[in-house]
Chains A and B, each alone.
Chain A
């Protein structure tokens, strides 16, 4: 009975993503006359996928593990640049032109490098709690951005050269310091974005509903009790943090390979906050909420173009209204009255 309830909830999440994907594909391919997508929205499809993955992965850290991280864009940045370099290197070294295989390998590389960064950051950072953790992760995001501004990668045939503050490398520059990566092969596709979302959901939802996931949530709920139950706090916090970083790195690679030019400034503090807004608005710990919030809030600025100059003002107002509405006892009371089944079921449980 209980398993089926969780299973149903997960199924709904997968179903939502799959249905949305099919609708989008129908609109893009113009299968049904009259049902089509505007050019600007079409350009947003891959970023939406990226932000969904970012939001879901950050929710693993913020919602499930209960640690406020403000440097999520840093992992995205690591993933983006390592993915771009990998994709270019595959062409040079192996003449591998198949875009799908290149993209997959680039995403794996992005995930691995972001994961390594996650371990390196996690070791000192996860000893801190609360505000201190937030501040250090914020600083980490800035450090990554500054380091990326000084890094140069060039490809001389199959050989990869790395330069720190030194653009005079042999061969063709792939990543050019502050100018970023230019002339990137834009191999990202909406289909691969969809696959990445499914993979992320698979990893995150399965992790939550397993022994490790329960340990992570137990630490969030009550650290002292978890320790006295024999749960290794550092290990499980690290597990959540690094998994989150790997997924962010994969999203970063997808993002990086979607544009012909990518600069490190793209992954600023703003981006971290933007993803955090998705998580908070969708509900902390609520994976489905993160997906919906990321989608709506990525499309919203495009839709609000009609307001031209007042665009960001309206965007802010929408955010505030949604926040207030979801926290209003009046509205939640109304929702509960519409769905009385759940409430009585909970009461019966209490009475027993």
Chain B
């Protein structure tokens, strides 16, 4: 097993708005910048004043107790919800007024906490859906089998198998996605998201339901994906081994607000974080 590149290898440096990014990304424009992001559901502030900057090739973590609003943040970033306040910039581009489809085209791809695969389609077809906007041909080329159809179908097939090879899943290409084992379904979701050619990959609890061995493998693969595609990853995870192991910058959320930001060591030492997770120690 190859040695996982631990967080301690990365030196984190502050950027103007007090956020931190990996040192290697300091000269590059951040892939994601959220400013004062917030959403209210009938008076309840599910997320409030959320600020984050993610470097070009950073692996960032978003953690917090259950119901802290982590998935809501993902839904705001991918425009499933329209924020009531604040802005989201993807590669410096304001996403105001965009819908989910446009956010994806702008360079943001995600996986889901409760797996959302196209269960009645095969593994390869699932990846091909991810390639939908990368390898194109029109409806009539498809119906009348124009030369574009054959050329682009071949290209899609090759690219899909190439992407599946990240997780050694080429052999499963013809299996129905719904009949895959749980861990493989999670991996397929990541491949499918990668197929949309994103600059930021959002992973919602990628290790949920995986055994320690699978989690270890996943950690390696996330780093491998980052290195190969040179993209940023933001992940929500409850498995602290994974978060502390690979995340360079970590953001802790509680009751919809950021309570701490920093590197793994800083987060582990932070009394506010410990309180949020374990509760306040009673004064004797």
Residue of B112, B118, B133, B135 near A218 (CB, 8 A) is B118
Answer whether A212 and B118 are a contact pair too, CB < 8 Å, given A227-B100, A228-B78: no
A231 contact set on B, CB distance < 8 A: 101, 129, 132
A217 contact set on B, CB distance < 8 A: 118, 120-121
B142 at the interface (CB under 8 A from A): yes
Answer whether A221 and B78 are a contact pair too, CB < 8 Å, given A207-B143, A228-B104: no
CB distance from A346 to the nearest CB of B (A): 7
Residue of B137, B172, B173, B181 near A211 (CB, 8 A) is B137
A-side binding surface: helix, strand, loop or mixed? Answer: helix
CB distance from A212 to the nearest CB of B (A): 5
B117 contact set on A, CB distance < 8 A: 221-222, 225
Answer whether A210 and B149 are a contact pair too, CB < 8 Å, given A225-B117, A229-B104, A229-B132: yes
A308 at the interface (CB under 8 A from B): no
A352 at the interface (CB under 8 A from B): yes
Q: Is the Cβ of A206 less than 8 Å from the Cβ of B172?
A: no
B223 at the interface (CB under 8 A from A): no
Q: Is the Cβ of B128 less than 8 Å from the Cβ of A349?
A: no
Interface positions, chain A 1-23, Cβ under 8 Å from B, are: 1-2, 5
Residue on B with the closest CB to A219? Answer: B118
Answer whether A228 and B109 are a contact pair too, CB < 8 Å, given A2-B122, A211-B132, A349-B174: yes
A110 contact set on B, CB distance < 8 A: none
Residue on A with the closest CB to B142? Answer: A210
B119 contact set on A, CB distance < 8 A: 221-222
B41 at the interface (CB under 8 A from A): no
A312 at the interface (CB under 8 A from B): no
Residue of A221, A233, A349 near B120 (CB, 8 A) is A221
Q: Is the Cβ of B173 less than 8 Å from the Cβ of A2?
A: yes
Answer whether A213 and B142 are a contact pair too, CB < 8 Å, given A2-B173, A228-B100, A229-B104: yes
B171 at the interface (CB under 8 A from A): yes
B33 at the interface (CB under 8 A from A): no
A276 contact set on B, CB distance < 8 A: none
A215 at the interface (CB under 8 A from B): yes
B142 contact set on A, CB distance < 8 A: 206-207, 210-213
Residue of A213, A222, A230, A352 near B133 (CB, 8 A) is A230
A239 at the interface (CB under 8 A from B): yes
Interface positions, chain B 100-155, Cβ under 8 Å from A, are: 100-101, 104-105, 109-110, 112, 116-122, 124-125, 128-130, 132-133, 135-139, 141-145, 149, 152-153
Residue of B120, B179, B196 near A350 (CB, 8 A) is B179
| A202 to B128 CA separation, bound complex (whole angstroms) | 22
B153 contact set on A, CB distance < 8 A: 210-211
B222 at the interface (CB under 8 A from A): no
B145 contact set on A, CB distance < 8 A: 206
A210 contact set on B, CB distance < 8 A: 137, 139, 141-143, 149, 153
A224 at the interface (CB under 8 A from B): yes
Q: Is the Cβ of B101 less than 8 Å from the Cβ of A230?
A: yes
Q: Is the Cβ of A349 less than 8 Å from the Cβ of B175?
A: yes
A227 contact set on B, CB distance < 8 A: 99-101, 104
A5 contact set on B, CB distance < 8 A: 174
Answer whether A214 and B121 are a contact pair too, CB < 8 Å, given A228-B100, A230-B105, A350-B179: yes
Answer whether A218 and B139 are a contact pair too, CB < 8 Å, given A349-B174, A350-B181: no
A159 contact set on B, CB distance < 8 A: none
Q: Is the Cβ of A232 less than 8 Å from the Cβ of B139?
A: no
Answer whether A211 and B152 are a contact pair too, CB < 8 Å, given A218-B121, A230-B101, A239-B139: yes
Answer whether A212 and B130 are a contact pair too, CB < 8 Å, given A1-B174, A227-B100, A349-B175: no
Residue on A with the closest CB to B169? Answer: A352
B192 at the interface (CB under 8 A from A): yes
CB distance from A252 to the nearest CB of B (A): 21
B260 at the interface (CB under 8 A from A): no
Q: Is the Cβ of A229 less than 8 Å from the Cβ of B130?
A: yes
B112 contact set on A, CB distance < 8 A: 224-225
| A205 to B174 CA separation, bound complex (whole angstroms) | 19
Interface positions, chain A 214-260, Cβ under 8 Å from B, are: 214-215, 217-218, 221-222, 224-233, 239
| A225 to B126 CA separation, bound complex (whole angstroms) | 10
A233 contact set on B, CB distance < 8 A: 101
B129 contact set on A, CB distance < 8 A: 214-215, 218, 226, 229, 231
A215 contact set on B, CB distance < 8 A: 129, 132
A228 contact set on B, CB distance < 8 A: 78, 80, 100, 104, 109-110
A203 at the interface (CB under 8 A from B): yes
Interface centre among B129, B149, B172, B196 (most CB of A within 10 A): B129
Interface centre among A1, A222, A226 (most CB of B within 10 A): A222
A207 contact set on B, CB distance < 8 A: 139, 142-143
Residue on B with the closest CB to A210? Answer: B142
Residue pairs across A and B with Cβ atoms less than 8 A apart, 8 shown, are A203-B143, A211-B128, A211-B156, A229-B129, A229-B130, A229-B193, A230-B101, A350-B180
Interface residues of A (CB under 8 A from B): 1-2, 5, 202-203, 206-207, 210-215, 217-218, 221-222, 224-233, 239, 346, 349-350, 352
The 6 closest A-B pairs by CB, nearest first: A210-B142, A230-B104, A225-B116, A221-B118, A349-B175, A227-B100
